[in-house]
Structure 1
Amino acid sequence: MKDYIIIGAGQSGLAIAYYLNKQNANYLIVDANSEVGAPWLKRWDSLKLFTPSEFNSLPGLEFPYKKGHYANKYEVAGYLKGYVSNFKIPVEFNHKITSLKKENGVFKLESNLKTFEAKNVIVATGPFHKPFTPSCNTKISEDILQIHSEHYKSPNQLKEGATLVVGAGDSGVQILNEISKMNTPVYFSGNTDIVSLPQEILGKTLWWWFSKVGFLTAHKYSWIGKKLSKTGQPVIGTDVKTLFKKQNVTCVGRTLDANEKTITFEKQKVNDIKNIVWATGFKPNFNWIDGIELDENHYPKNYRGVSKTIDGLYFLGLPWLYTRGSATLGGVKNDAEYLNEYLINKVSK
C-alpha cells in the first residue's frame, strides 16, 4: 500500500515526484514504457522543441543546455533520465494501467502484470492517448503507405513518389517542411490560414516576449485565458507562407473522402499519392478510470488537477489544466507545486 501512486514517468509525473520526495512521502511511479523518456525517443528524428532551454526546467534541476538552445528529442530524454537518477525517483516500468477503481477508500490499479494499491493516485499520462485518423483512411488502397505522426520517423520510411501530409498543427507543419526538402511532390491537407511566429523577435526569444506580456501565466478562468484557450496554437519557428509557396508543395484543402487511390479534397481530386502522413493529433482516453466524469473535451472534471468527482484522485499534464504551459516540459512545474501545497494542506487538516 502506497500513500501515492503516480501513473506516468513523463515530465508531469517527475515534477510531482520531486515534491513528494521533499515530503518524504511513500510513493511510486508506474509507467507503461521500458525506460524514462521513451515517448520522446519514439517521435520523429528531426524533432526539436520550440521552447528554448531557459523555459524547459523541471523543479530543482536546470535544463543543462545554454540559453537560447532548442533541444532535440535525445537531449530531452537524457534530461528526464538524469532527473530520475539525480533525485532517486522510484519507477516501475512496463506497467500499462488498464483499470483504476476506488473500493473501500483504497485505489486499486490493475496493470498487465500486477495489481497496485494506494491511498491517492496522480494521473500524469499526458494529453496524447489515442492517435486520431479520419474514418476515410479505411477506404484507401493498401498500395498507399499510411502512417500516423506518432510513428513517423523520417522521409526514409516513405515510398518513392508523392506524399500527402494531413494536419495543420506543429507536427504537420514540421513534417511537411522536412518532406518538402526531398524535392518530391508533396500535398498538404489542412487549414492554410495558420498563424506562424518566428522563434526570435528583436533579439529576444518568442517565449521571453510571451512571459513579459503574461501569455504564459494567464490561467483558463481569466478573461485573457479564456480567449487564448479557444484560439489555435500558433506554429512556431516555421515560415508557413514560404513553405506553402514551394514549387513541390500543393495545398489541397481539407480531406473529404477517399476511394482506393483517388482522394477527394476541398480543392481537387488526387490519384498519384504513394504515402500519407496523418498528423491529425490524438484523442484523450480516460475510460479506464471507474466512475470518472469527463468535460465537453473528454478530459476529467477537475480544478487545478484535483478531481471534482473522486476524492484522492489528481491529474497533471493536461492541456490547459490551468495555463497554456500546463502540458509543456517547462510549464508543468507550476501545476505540480500547486498540487503539492494542496496535498500538504489536506494531510495537515
Structure 2
Amino acid sequence: MKEFIIIGAGQSGLAMAYNLSSNNKDYLILDANEYIGAPWLKRWDSLTLFTPTEYNHLPGMKFPFPKGYYPNKYEVADYLKSYVDKFSIPIEFNQKVTSIKKVNGIFDITTASTNYKAKQVIIATGPFHTPYTPPCHADIAKDVVQLHSENYKSPSQLQQGDCLVVGAGDSGVQILSEIADTGRTVHFSGTNKIKAIPQAFLGKTLWWWFTKIGFLSVNRFSKIGKWLSSGVQPVIGTDVKSLLAKDNVIHMGRTLSADESSIKFQKGSVSSIRNIIWATGFKPNFFWIDGISFDEMNYPSNYRGVSNDIEGLYFIGLPWLYTRGSATLGGVYKDAQYLMNYISENVKAA
C-alpha cells in the first residue's frame, strides 16, 4: 500500500509528484498511456503552445528554450520526459484506472490488470476524457472521412474533395486555418462571432499582459472570476477575421442534420463534403470514482482541489480549479503547492 497514488502522468501529476518527493512522501503515479508525453504526441502535428517558454516551467525545472519561444508538441513531450528522468518520478504505465472506492479508510484502486491501495489519492487526469461528436455524424455517408480533432494529425489524412471543420474553439480554428492553407475548399460550422486575441501586443506577449493585469491570478470564486469562467474562452493567436474572409473558407453556421447525400446547416445544405473534422470538444468522465458529486461544470465537487465528498481525495489540472492558469503547463504549480500545504497541515493535525 502506498501513502499516495496519483492518477495521471501529465503536467499536473508531475507537478504534484515533485511536491510529494520534496516532502519525502511515499507515492506512485498510475498512467493509462504507454509512455510519458503520449497525449501531447497524439495531437495534430503542427500544434504549438499559446504560452511562450517563460510561462511553461514546472516546479524545479525550467523549460529549456529561449524566452518568447512557443514550443511545439514534441518539445513539450521531451520536456516532460526529461522532468521524470531528472526527479526519478515513479510511474507505472499502461494502467488505466477503471474504479476507485474508499473502503474502511483506504482507497481501493482497480485497473484492468492490477489492484492498488493507497491512503490518499490525487486525480490528475485532466479535463479531456471522452471525445464528443454530434449524433448526426452517424447519418453521414460511410465513404466520407470523419475524424475527431483528437485523431487529426495533418491534411495528409484527408481524401480528395471538400472538407468540413466543425467547432469554433482554438482547435477548430487552428485546424481550419491549416487545411485552408492547402487551397482546399473548407466549409466551417460554428459561430463566426469568435472572440480572438493576438499572441503579442505592443511588443509584449499576451501572457505578459495577462500577468501584468492580474488576469491569471483571478480566482473562480470572485465576481470577475465567475464571469470569466462562465464565458466562451477566446481564440488565441489566430487572425479569425482574415481566416473567415478567405475565398476557400465558407461559413455555414451551425450543423443541423445529415443524411447519406448531404449535410444541412443554418445557411443551407452541402453535398460536396468528403472530409469532416469534428473539433467539438470532450466530455469529462469521472464516474469511475465512487461516492463523489459534481459541480455546475460537471467536474468533481471540490474546493481548490480538495474533494467536498471524500476525505483524502484530491484533484488537480482541471480548468478553473482555482484560476485561469490552473490547467496550463506553467500555472499548475500553484495548485500543486496549495494541495501540498493542505496535505501537510492535515497530516500534522491528524
TM range (shorter): over 0.9
4+ long deviations beyond 6 Å: none
How is 1:1-349 mapped onto 2 (pairs within 5 angstroms)? 1-349=1-349
Residue 227 of structure 1 and its aligned partner are, at CA, apart by 1.3
Q: Which amino acid aligns with 1:93?
A: F
- Aligned mates of 1:231, 1:71 — CA distance in 2: 27
Deviations 1:42-66 (A, max 9, x none): 0000000011000001111111110
How far apart are residue 296 of structure 1 and its match? 2.4
Residue 86 (structure 1) shift: 0.6
Alpha carbon RMSD of aligned pairs, Å? 0.6
SS at match of 1:117: strand
Equivalent-residue separation in structure 1 for 2:9 and 2:236 (angstroms): 27
Q: List gaps (5 residues or longer) in structure 2.
A: none
Query: How far apart are the structure 2 equivalents of 1:248 and 1:89?
Result: 49
Instruction: Quote the offset at 1:286 in angstroms.
Output: 0.5
- Quick check: 1:188–1:253 contact (8 Å CA) kept in 2? yes
Alpha-carbon distance in 2 for matches of 1:261, 1:131:
25
Partners of 2:260 and 2:57 in 1: how far apart?
A: 47
1:97/1:110 contact within 8 Å kept: yes
The answer to whether the Cα contact below 8 Å between 1:261 and 1:273 also exists between their aligned partners in 2 is no
Listed one character per residue, the Cα deviations across residues 134-186 of structure 1 (whole Å, up to 9, x for unaligned) are 01111111011100000000000001110000000000000000000110110
State the AA in 2 paired with 1:337. Answer: Q
- Is 1:144–1:261's contact at 8 Å kept on the other side of the alignment? no
Normalized against structure 1, the TM-score is what?
0.99
Work out the CA distance in 1 between the residues paired with 2:135 and 2:312: 38
Counterparts of 2:275 and 2:172, CA distance in 1: 14
In the TM superposition, what is the alpha-carbon distance from 1:231 to its structure 2 partner? 1.6
| Deviation of 1:90 (Å) | 0.4
Q: Secondary structure at the residue paired with 1:98?
A: strand
Cα deviation, residue 325, structure 1: 1.0
Q: How far is the alpha carbon of 1:197 from its aligned partner? A: 1.0
Structure 1 position 226, deviation (Å): 1.0
Task: Give, in whole Å, the separation in 2 of the partners of 1:165 and 1:261.
Answer: 18
Q: CA deviation at 1:261?
A: 2.7
Q: In structure 1, give the amino acid aligned to 2:338.
A: Y
Q: 1:205 and 1:297 mapped to 2: Cα distance?
A: 30
Q: Is the 8 A contact 1:12 1:336 kept in 2?
A: yes
Rounded to whole Å, the distance in 2 between the matches of 1:269 and 1:71 is 40
In structure 2, what is the Cα distance between the partners aligned to 1:245 and 1:123? 43
Q: TM-score scaled to structure 2, two decimals?
A: 0.99
* Percent identity of equivalent pairs: 62
Secondary structure of 1:242's aligned partner: helix
Q: Secondary structure at the match of 1:216?
A: helix
Helix, strand or coil at the partner of 2:49: coil
* Aligned-pair CA distance for 1:292: 1.2
State the alpha-carbon separation in 2 of the partners of residues 310 and 216 from structure 1.
29
What is the one-letter code of the residue matched to 2:212?
Answer: K
Shift of 1:118: 0.1
2 CA distance for matches of 1:281 and 1:344? 36
Deviations 1:216-257 (A, max 9, x none): 000001111111111211111110000000010000000010
Give me the whole-angstrom Cα distance separating, in 2, the residues matched to 1:332 and 1:97. Answer: 22
SS of 2:209's partner is helix
- 3-state SS of 2:70 partner: coil
Equivalences, count: 349
Output the CA distance in 1 between the equivalents of 2:339 and 2:238. Answer: 35
Q: Contact 1:15 / 1:336 at 8 angstroms: preserved in 2? A: yes
SS in 2 for 1:339: helix
Given that residues 33 and 95 in structure 1 are in contact (C-alpha distance below 8 angstroms), is that contact kept between their aligned partners in structure 2?
A: yes
DSSP-derived class of the 2:217 partner: coil
Q: Distance in 2 between matches of 1:150 and 1:32?
A: 16
Q: Secondary structure at the match of 1:128?
A: coil
- What is the DSSP-based 3-state SS (H/G/I as helix, E as strand, rest coil) of the residue aligned with 1:51? coil
